């Protein structure tokens, strides 16, 4: 409580002062001080930003719910947009369509695109189709070329001709009476249809050689001279007045041209003259030429479609046909025969080469190049193929050349061709028949 003088007029002040001087008591008026005013109230909080945020959250939830329902509706109806796989490799293109719930169907056709590349698609990219619909993708097949005829050409010209067709050449030198450098034979034969980049083996003549003169030399010396010149010897002991083991005659005669590797007959003295003349008797007449082989019989080409390629090659070998294995793009399982030429049921002579097209599979890899194994013994050839990442199937094949008996005379796919890693390479081992 606070004491204060009551305020009044000037007269009142005078009276009070007089009372104070006279010693009269002063009466003070007591009054209660008014309470302090309450603190000012703050501004009410702003609610509209929170309301706006709440509205945004509700709107986002409604949009998300609409999108989910829309996707569910699309999934339920199977409405799918076809992806654009043109330009992709076959494997990734098929995988993409499978992920989208579509059924890819691969068709291989020749084109200018690299092998295995998708260059057409039906239905067109962007088309909406039902789930599970078939989408046909057309891939570029391995280009096929016709083998030109190079027999009789010079080796250099033959190689240029083969290269101009997209083929490579594998020349080998053989003895022949033909001029040096002339192509004697080729495999595959002219007119055959093979994959672009395949190898054509050509046999090139080494040309004839002059037979050296060995008359008058000892038997061992004559044999050595002929061997050094590239000839073999066939020795006959004949009566003669010349010293024993002396060569008294030869055929072909000295200076004649003969193929390298051919045989020269040597008449060697026994050391005893006969007939009193001591002259060299004429060589015995040559044996009669062998009878010509019978013409090849005809066989019906078996149906190979759907078989595994190694089984198809065995079937052809059993009926006397040769095989040409070509790997082609296809959605069939790897190694499955998808086509053949000539067609099943047609008739062909024994020894005819049948083209067998085997599937690379839906997701083909890079593949491996088949190494050269022809001319090797089977064990060495098998080891070389296994080292290159292949499995090996061994079959026998007739041959009229003794030197090829027991050797690999053919392999499918051919040397240099690309085949899936781990696939089967079939080697054919020669079996001599007279």
Q: What is the DSSP letter of 271?
A: S
Q: For the segment 239-264, what is each residue's pLDDT rounded down to a tens digit? A: 988 898 999 999 988 888 777 778 89
Q: Which segment of 13-17, 359-363, 401-405 scores lowest on mean pLDDT?
A: 13-17
Q: Nearest to residue 324, comparing CAs of 411, 429, 418? A: 411
DSSP 20: H
* Mean pLDDT across 324-342: 89
Q: Where are the beta strands (DSSP E) in 62-179?
A: 80-81, 103-109, 118-122, 128-129, 134-140, 144-146, 168-174
Which residue do the tokens 């009372």 mark? 19
Look up the pTM and report it.
0.37
Tokens of 240: 């003669």
In the chain, the largest separation of any two C-alpha atoms, in whole Å, equals 210
Give the CA distances from residue 271 to residues 234, 279, 318, 323, in Å, rounded to whole numbers and listed in that order. 19, 12, 56, 57
Distances (CA, A) of 16 to 4, 11, 240: 14, 9, 194
Model confidence at 16: pLDDT above 50: no
Q: Is the dihedral of CA 286, 255, 217, 272 positive or negative?
A: positive
CA distance 434 to 429: 16
* 228 SS3 class: helix
Please tell me the distance from the alpha carbon of residue 202 to that of residue 199, in angstroms, as a whole number: 10
- Of the chain, the percentage scoring pLDDT greater than 90 comes to 27
Of 138, 102, 143, 105, which Cα lies nearest the Cα of 119? 138
How much is the pLDDT for 427? 95
Q: Does the structure show a pLDDT above 60 at 11?
A: no
Displacement of CA 233 from its chain's centroid (Å)? 48
Of the listed ranges 61-70, 123-132, 246-255, 401-410, the least confidently predicted one is 61-70
Q: Which residues contact 74 (CB under 8 A, 6 or more apart)?
A: 80
pLDDT at 68: 61
In angstroms, rounded to a whole number, what is the distance separating the alpha carbons of residues 409 and 398?
A: 10
- Judge contact between 337 and 302, C-beta under 8 A: no
pLDDT in tens, 382-397: 889 988 889 999 999 9
> Residue 44's pLDDT is what?
58
pLDDT at residue 123 is higher than 90 = yes
411 pLDDT more than 60 = yes
Q: Which backbone phi and psi does 324 adopt, to 5 degrees?
A: -130, 105
Distance of CA 243 to the CA centre of its chain: 67
Give the per-residue pLDDT at 278.
Answer: 42
Task: Check residue 353 and give its pLDDT.
Answer: 93
Give the pLDDT confidence of 268-308 residue by residue, as tens digits: 998 876 544 444 455 565 566 665 666 667 888 998 988 99
pLDDT band at 434 (very low <50, low <70, confident <90, very high): confident
Beta bridge partners of 431: 398
* pLDDT number for residue 293: 60
Q: How far is CA 63 from CA 43, 71, 75, in A?
A: 37, 12, 18
The predicted structure's pLDDT at residue 77: 46
Of the chain, the end-to-end C-alpha distance in Å amounts to 150
pLDDT at 71: 56
Q: Which residue in this structure is represented by tokens 């001279």?
A: 225
What pLDDT was estimated at residue 275?
A: 44
Task: At 181, list the tokens.
Answer: 């450098």
Q: What is the DSSP letter of 373?
A: -
In this model, does residue 161 exceed pLDDT 70?
Answer: yes
Note the pLDDT tens digit of each residue in 29-64. Answer: 555 566 666 665 555 566 777 888 888 888 888 887
Give the Å distances, CA to CA, from 367 to 119, 328, 360, 371, 385: 22, 12, 9, 13, 14
- Spatial CA neighbour of 418 closest among 397, 392, 398, 389: 389
Give yes or no for a contact between 429 and 378, defined as CB atoms under 8 angstroms apart. Answer: yes
Pairing of strands 193-195, 408-412: unpaired
Please give the pLDDT value at position 26.
Answer: 52
8-state DSSP, 381: H
CB 139, CB 90: distance < 8 Å:
yes
For the chain, give the number of residues: 434
What proportion of the chain, given as a percentage, has pLDDT over 70? Answer: 81
Provide the pLDDT for residue 31: 52
């Amino acid at each position: 409580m606070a004491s204060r003088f009551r305020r009044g007029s000037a007269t009142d002040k005078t009276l009070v002062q007089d009372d104070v001087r006279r010693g009269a008591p002063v009466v003070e008026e007591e009054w209660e001080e008014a309470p302090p005013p309450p603190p000012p109230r703050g501004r009410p909080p702003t609610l509209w930003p929170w309301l706006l945020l709440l509205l945004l959250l509700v709107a986002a939830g409604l949009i998300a719910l609409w999108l989910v329902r829309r996707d569910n509706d699309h999934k339920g109806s199977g409405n799918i947009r076809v992806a654009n796989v043109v330009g992709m490799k076959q494997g990734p293109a098929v995988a993409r369509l499978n992920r989208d719930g579509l059924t890819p169907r691969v068709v291989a056709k020749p084109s200018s695109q690299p092998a295995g590349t998708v260059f057409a698609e039906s239905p067109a990219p962007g088309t909406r189709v039902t789930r599970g619909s078939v989408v046909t993708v057309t891939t570029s097949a391995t280009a096929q070329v016709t083998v030109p005829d190079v027999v009789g050409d010079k080796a250099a010209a033959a190689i240029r001709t083969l290269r101009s067709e997209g083929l490579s050449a594998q020349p080998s030198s053989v003895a022949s009476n033909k001029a040096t450098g002339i192509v004697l034979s080729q495999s595959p034969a002219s007119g055959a249809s093979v994959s672009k980049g395949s190898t054509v083996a050509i046999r090139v003549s080494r040309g004839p050689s002059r037979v050296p003169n060995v008359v008058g030399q000892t038997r061992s010396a004559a044999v050595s001279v002929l061997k050094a010149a590239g000839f073999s010897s066939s020795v006959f002991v004949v009566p003669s007045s010349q010293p024993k083991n002396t060569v008294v005659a030869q055929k072909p005669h000295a200076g004649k041209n003969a193929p390298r590797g051919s045989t020269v007959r040597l008449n060697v003295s026994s050391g005893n003259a006969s007939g009193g003349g001591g002259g060299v008797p004429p060589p015995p007449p040559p044996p009669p030429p062998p009878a010509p082989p019978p013409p090849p019989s005809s066989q019906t080409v078996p149906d190979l479609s759907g078989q595994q390629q190694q089984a198809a090659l065995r079937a052809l070998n059993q009926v006397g046909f040769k095989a040409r294995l070509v790997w082609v793009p296809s959605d069939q399982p790897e190694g499955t025969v998808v086509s053949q030429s000539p067609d099943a049921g047609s008739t062909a002579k024994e020894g005819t080469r049948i083209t067998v097209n085997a599937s690379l599979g839906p997701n083909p890899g890079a593949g491996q190049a088949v190494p050269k194994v022809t001319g090797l013994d089977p064990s060495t050839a098998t080891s070389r193929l296994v080292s290159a990442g292949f499995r090996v199937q061994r079959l026998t094949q007739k041959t009229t050349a003794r030197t090829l008996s027991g050797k690999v005379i053919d392999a499918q796919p051919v040397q240099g061709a690309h085949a899936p890693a781990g696939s089967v390479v079939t080697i054919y081992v020669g079996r001599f028949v007279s």
